[in-house]
Amino acid sequence: MSILLEVKNLRKYFKTPKGMLHAVDGVNMQIESGKTLGVVGESGCGKSTLGRLVLHLLDSSDGEVYYQGNNITHVNKKELKELRKNMQMIFQDPFSSLNPRKTVSQIIVEPLQIYKAYPSKKDMIKKVYELMDTVGLAKRLEYSYPHELDGGRRQRIGIARALALNPEFIVCDEPVSALDVSIQAQILNLMQDLQLERKLTYMFISHDLSVVKHVSDNICVMYLGTLVESCASKNLFKNPLHPYTKALLSAIPVPKINIEKKRILLKGEISSPINPKPGCRFAPRCLYAKDICTKKQPKLIEVEENHFVACHCLKENNKESM
């Protein structure tokens, strides 16, 4: 197993008028080469911030990022430009991330021009056509503008652009959340095919556990800036251990009508990420919260091989599954 990306104790605090907002608060994780790590959690839990920190689109407040074993936390501009070739991002809303005044081919050619990837214009155009073909965009669309295309095609432009420099690693931030369900499947299939063909490594961010389930080898569950559970995707669905993961899983609809599923409804308020109180961030909504939960923040610990959970009361809450 070779680790392509690792983050250690990564933090990002934003200064706000009400105090420091702890968007990402001490995250540790690893992504294996050629695999997909799903990052899931409710809106506002810090997923996009984590993705941006990993790609250096944001400076971290503390912690480290390693790429192929090298500490890339404090790289200079030149090193960063070099790294960017290998590390790209696909955004949730291709409409706002694509320049509306540029045509499809102008958008895709841009990274090739910035990096002077090809000596001649002819070769560059050839590469644009190749990329359009790879992501399933017909050549006749080369002069179209993003607003003339549907959401699925716009996301294909975003993918082509991300692939232009032959990256190894892509942060996919809610890449299908803005798309119709039927188109979601097409884009997810395309991304999986590309992963196999090009040995890509993905960090796949979504608020929707059912989407993450289909694409991820491993999954990290985030809650208010912290990781609460992390393990192989199959294991998370078979044997979830954290109360928050269990609640998330119970909310996924079951396709078979004769199976009844008990939904765990989360009560209580999400606590504020600004100057967070000590203890477990999930405590105000947790059915099992005890005294210690509001005093001490639980650490993410390995409870079985490659299964990490942050909860003080793990054994009591999972008597039958542990």
Ligand X SMILES: Nc1ncnc2c1ncn2[C@@H]1O[C@H](COP(=O)(O)OP(=O)(O)O)[C@@H](O)[C@H]1O
Binding residues for ligand SF4 (CB under 6 A): 243, 280, 282-283, 286, 288-289, 293, 298, 311-313
**Interface stretch with ligand X, choices 37-45, 71-79, 231-239, 242-250 (CB under 6 A):** 37-45
Least distance to ligand SF4, CB of residue 87, Å: 33
Least distance to ligand SF4, CB of residue 289, Å: 4
Least distance to ligand X, CB of residue 40, Å: 9
Tokens of 253: 């609809």
Residue 49 touches which member of Mg ion, ligand X, ligand SF4, none, C-beta under 5-8 Å by kind = ligand X
Residue 243 touches which member of Mg ion, ligand SF4, ligand X, none, C-beta under 5-8 Å by kind = ligand SF4
Residue 46 interacting with ligand X (CB under 6 A) = yes
Q: Which of 38, 94, 273, 279 binds ligand X (CB under 6 A)?
A: 273
Give the helix ranges, DSSP H, for 67-120.
77-86, 94-97, 104-114
Work out the widest C-alpha separation in the chain, in whole angstroms: 68
Q: Please report the DSSP string for 235-301 in residue order.
A: HHHHS--SHHHHHHHHTSPPS-TT---------SPPPPSBSPPSS-TTGGG-TT--GGGGTSPPP-E
Measured from the CB atom, the residue of 113 and 294 that comes closer to ligand SF4 is 294
Tell me which residues touch Mg ion (CB under 5 A). 48
Of 93, 120, 13, 104, nearest to 60 by C-alpha is: 13
Rounded to an integer, what distance in angstroms lies between the CA atom of residue 52 and that of residue 30? 16
**Interface stretch with ligand X, choices 36-44, 164-172, 190-198, 240-248 (CB under 6 A):** 36-44
Residue 49 interacting with ligand X (CB under 6 A) = yes
Residue 23 interacting with ligand X (CB under 6 A) = yes
**Interface stretch with ligand X, choices 47-55, 118-126, 143-151, 293-301 (CB under 6 A):** 47-55
Measured from the CB atom, the residue of 105 and 245 that comes closer to ligand X is 245
Least distance to ligand X, CB of residue 174, Å: 8
Of 51, 71, 73, 72, nearest to 61 by C-alpha is: 73
Least distance to ligand X, CB of residue 26, Å: 14
Measured from the CB atom, the residue of 21 and 236 that comes closer to ligand X is 21
Of 159, 183, 153, nearest to 108 by C-alpha is: 159
State the burial class of residue 286 (Cβ atoms within 10 Å of its Cβ: 0-12, 13-18, 19+): buried
Tokens of 236: 């998370």
Rounded to an integer, what distance in angstroms lies between the CA atom of residue 42 and that of residue 297? 20
Rounded to an integer, what distance in angstroms lies between the CA atom of residue 24 and that of residue 11? 5
Q: Which residue is nearest to Mg ion (CB)?
A: 48
Site for ligand X, rule CB under 6 A: 14, 16, 21, 23, 41, 43-49, 273
